Amino acid sequence: MYFVVRVTSSQEKITADILENKIQKTDTGVYAIVLLEGMRGYLVVEAENELSCREMVMNEPHVKGILPTPLSEDELDKMLITKKHIQEIAVSDVVEFLAGPFKGYKAKVIKVDSSKEEITVELMDVAVPIPVTTKSNMARVIEKTGAA
């Protein structure tokens, strides 16, 4: 079963670490702690039952309580869906900036770093092409090259 635990806002990571250490040291019937991005002030705890969850979080710093209704697996799955990569950007593609200081400019991609979600581009229609590295979500592909 999945339970939502209220915690002090911006203390979610610290609280999750404290609870994780407690789980490792004791046999509590708590299986996992989920820290969801965008869910400030809450943690999701997977536990055998509500009593196990309450015993785990009782008297811990930053814990404010447990919501009365457990989450269903479907509700948790909806929260866990990761953001899809909206686009695949490849070397030689032409992109247009959607935000930032180069908004509206077009550029040719010269390097893609998927792990950091960054692209390095050379601006087009400028006197001196200078490589610029930016987050890939700041641009959209307007022309694919070499795509079948």
Summarised one tens digit per residue, pLDDT across range 26-51 is 888 899 999 887 789 999 999 999 99
Boundary residue ending a domain (80, 113, 134): 80
Asked if the structure places residue 148 within a domain, the reply is no
Tokens linked to 114? 């998927």
Claim to verify: residue 6 and residue 71 sit in the same structural domain: yes
Q: Are 59 and 76 in contact (CB under 8 A)?
A: no
- CATH no. for residue 9? 3.30.70.940
- Residue 13 belongs to domain spanning: 2-80
Q: Which residue has the tokens 């087009």?
A: 124
Claim to verify: residue 66 and residue 121 sit in the same structural domain: no
Asked if the structure places residue 18 within a domain, the reply is yes
Please tell me the total count of domains within the chain: 2
Q: Which residue has the tokens 């899809």?
A: 84
**Residue 57: helix, strand or coil by DSSP?**
helix
pTM: 0.56
Beta-sheet pairing, 118-123 with 42-47: unpaired
Asked if the structure places residue 85 within a domain, the reply is no
**CB-based burial, 11-24: b 16+ in 10 Å, e otherwise:** bbeebbebbeeebe
